[in-house]
């Protein structure tokens, strides 16, 4: 498979994500959050407990957080729209990267007049399962909301929205993730990621690999939505994908090699993000 490098690192491919979410939903029905949170209320007033699968054993040194750099992160998988603060967990190093990431997100979207990022919605960071989530080095991003009212909702499958503005905005969020995380798995990667963007530490540094399905489907979707390239989003980096990618690099004034130099790829992703938030072709 072309994405062999991604498979062992992410640990998600072998799991049926939908089944997992269904499982958590079922657990929530059996043990409502209101009841589950009672025991925690004394030690963390104002926050509600997550499903037990998202609480790391004490032996794993994890940072607990409810906001990233001041921006709240909500959980909507059991109750859409709720704004209760949650105790998320991940490693300190991953949290530090989340801070850099959200500052990128604010900067790159702010120029398009979206206003500040008012909140994020996540489906999980640390989760007791194999792979990057189990190591506390992954995020599942469900939604970004800006103060001006705009949002990007992987949860609502905006990668496949009929409205190109929403698809470009999704690609902008996706691109910001790719500046700071690797691997990033999105709605084009497979059906298990149709309703969230997964970002992890499994394949750093952040470069673009032609042999990676996760990178290739992103590049193909990017070329289609910003340049009308008409590529099949199939994850196979062939000559048509190569020529569209070269055109994108040229139009974005990218010099250097984004396949080997992470700062070149990060610069390219910043320019893609600005175009996406601004709904501009390139
Ligand atoms: Zn994930």
Residue recorded with tokens 């499994």 = 202
Residue recorded with tokens 């055109």 = 247
CA–CA dist 49, 34 (Å, integer): 9
Q: How far is the CA of 122 from the centre of ligand 1 (A)?
A: 10
What is the DSSP code string of 65-109?
ESEETTEEEE--SSSTT---EE-EEE-HHHHHHHHHHHHHHHHHH
Report DSSP state, residue 50.
Answer: P
Q: How far is the CA of 186 from the centre of ligand 1 (A)?
A: 10
CA–CA dist 206, 92 (Å, integer): 19
Highest mean pLDDT among 23-37, 56-70, 150-164: 150-164
Calculate the alpha carbon distances from 104 to 69, 107, 141 in Å: 12, 5, 15
Confidence (pLDDT) at 11: 38
Residue-wise pLDDT for 118-138, tens only, equals 999 999 999 999 999 999 999
Token pair recorded at residue 232: 């099949």
Would the pLDDT of 49 be above 90?
Answer: no
Confidence (pLDDT) at 113: 87
Query: What is the percent of the chain where pLDDT is above 90?
Result: 76
Beta bridge partners of 71: 68
Mean pLDDT of 154-181: 98
Q: How far is the CA of 202 from the centre of ligand 1 (A)?
A: 11
Q: How far is the CA of 82 from the centre of ligand 1 (A)?
A: 21
For residue 205, is the peptide bond before it cis, meaning its omega torsion is within 30 degrees of 0? yes
CA–CA dist 282, 248 (Å, integer): 7
Secondary structure of residue 276 in the 3-state scheme: helix
Question: Where are any strands of DSSP class E within 5-110?
Answer: 47-48, 63-65, 67-68, 71-74, 85-86, 88-90
Residue-wise pLDDT for 250-282, tens only, equals 999 999 999 999 999 999 999 999 999 999 999
Are 172 and 152 spatial neighbours (Cβ–Cβ below 8 Å)?
A: yes
**Planar angle of CA 54, 56, 58, nearest 5 degrees:** 155
Q: How far is the CA of 256 from the centre of ligand 1 (A)?
A: 31
- 47 band by pLDDT with thresholds 50, 70 and 90: low
Sign (positive or negative) of CA dihedral 236, 239, 242, 243: negative
Q: How far is the CA of 250 from the centre of ligand 1 (A)?
A: 33
Cβ-based neighbour number of residue 64 at 10 Å: 15
Q: How far is the CA of 42 from the centre of ligand 1 (A)?
A: 30
Mean pLDDT of 100-120: 95
Confidence (pLDDT) at 58: 67
Q: How far is the CA of 255 from the centre of ligand 1 (A)?
A: 32
Would the pLDDT of 9 be above 60?
Answer: no
Q: How far is the CA of 138 from the centre of ligand 1 (A)?
A: 6
CA–CA dist 249, 31 (Å, integer): 51
Quote helix, strand, coil % in the chain, to nearest 5: 45, 15, 45
Q: How far is the CA of 165 from the centre of ligand 1 (A)?
A: 25
- CB atoms within 5 A of ion ligand 1 belong to 140, 198
Q: Is the pTM of this model over 0.75?
A: yes
Q: How far is the CA of 38 from the centre of ligand 1 (A)?
A: 28
Are 150 and 169 spatial neighbours (Cβ–Cβ below 8 Å)?
A: yes
Mean pLDDT of 199-221: 96
Q: How far is the CA of 128 from the centre of ligand 1 (A)?
A: 12
Secondary structure of residue 168 in the 3-state scheme: helix
- 55 band by pLDDT with thresholds 50, 70 and 90: confident
Q: How far is the CA of 262 from the centre of ligand 1 (A)?
A: 23
Token pair recorded at residue 27: 């657990």
Residue ranges per structural domain of the chain: 6-278
For residue 183, is the peptide bond before it cis, meaning its omega torsion is within 30 degrees of 0? yes
Q: How far is the CA of 199 from the centre of ligand 1 (A)?
A: 7
Token pair recorded at residue 135: 């190591």
Report DSSP state, residue 235.
Answer: S
Q: How far is the CA of 127 from the centre of ligand 1 (A)?
A: 9
Confidence (pLDDT) at 60: 72
List Cβ neighbours of 2 (8 Å cut-off, separation of 6 or more): 211, 212, 213, 216, 235, 236, 237
Confidence (pLDDT) at 51: 76
Mean pLDDT of 150-158: 98
């Amino acid at each position: 498979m072309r994405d062999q490098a991604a498979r062992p690192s992410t640990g998600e491919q072998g799991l049926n994500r939908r089944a997992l979410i269904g499982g958590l939903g079922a657990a929530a029905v059996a043990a409502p959050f209101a009841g589950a949170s009672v025991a925690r209320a004394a030690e963390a007033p104002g926050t509600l407990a997550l499903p037990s699968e998202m609480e790391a054993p004490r032996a794993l040194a994890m940072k607990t957080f409810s906001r990233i750099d001041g921006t709240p992160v909500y959980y909507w998988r059991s109750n859409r729209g709720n704004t209760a603060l949650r105790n998320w967990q991940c490693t300190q190093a991953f949290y530090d990267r989340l801070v850099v990431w959200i500052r990128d997100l604010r900067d790159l979207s702010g120029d398009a007049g979206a206003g500040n990022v008012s909140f994020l919605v996540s489906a999980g960071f640390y989760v007791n399962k194999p792979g990057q989530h189990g190591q506390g080095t992954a995020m599942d991003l469900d939604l970004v909301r800006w103060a001006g009212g705009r949002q990007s909702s992987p949860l609502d499958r905006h990668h496949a929205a009929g409205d190109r503005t929403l698809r470009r905005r999704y690609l902008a969020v996706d691109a910001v993730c790719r500046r700071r995380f690797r691997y990033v798995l999105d709605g084009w990667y497979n059906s298990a990621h149709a309703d969230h963007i997964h970002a992890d530490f499994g394949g750093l540094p952040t470069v673009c690999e032609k042999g990676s399905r996760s990178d290739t489907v992103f590049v193909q979707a990017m070329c289609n939505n910003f340049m009308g390239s008409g590529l099949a989003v199939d994850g196979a980096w062939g000559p048509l994908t190569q020529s569209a990618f070269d055109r994108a690099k040229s139009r974005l004034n990218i010099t250097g090699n984004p396949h080997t130099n992470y700062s070149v790829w990060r610069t390219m992703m910043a320019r893609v993000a600005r175009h996406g938030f601004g709904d501009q072709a390139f």
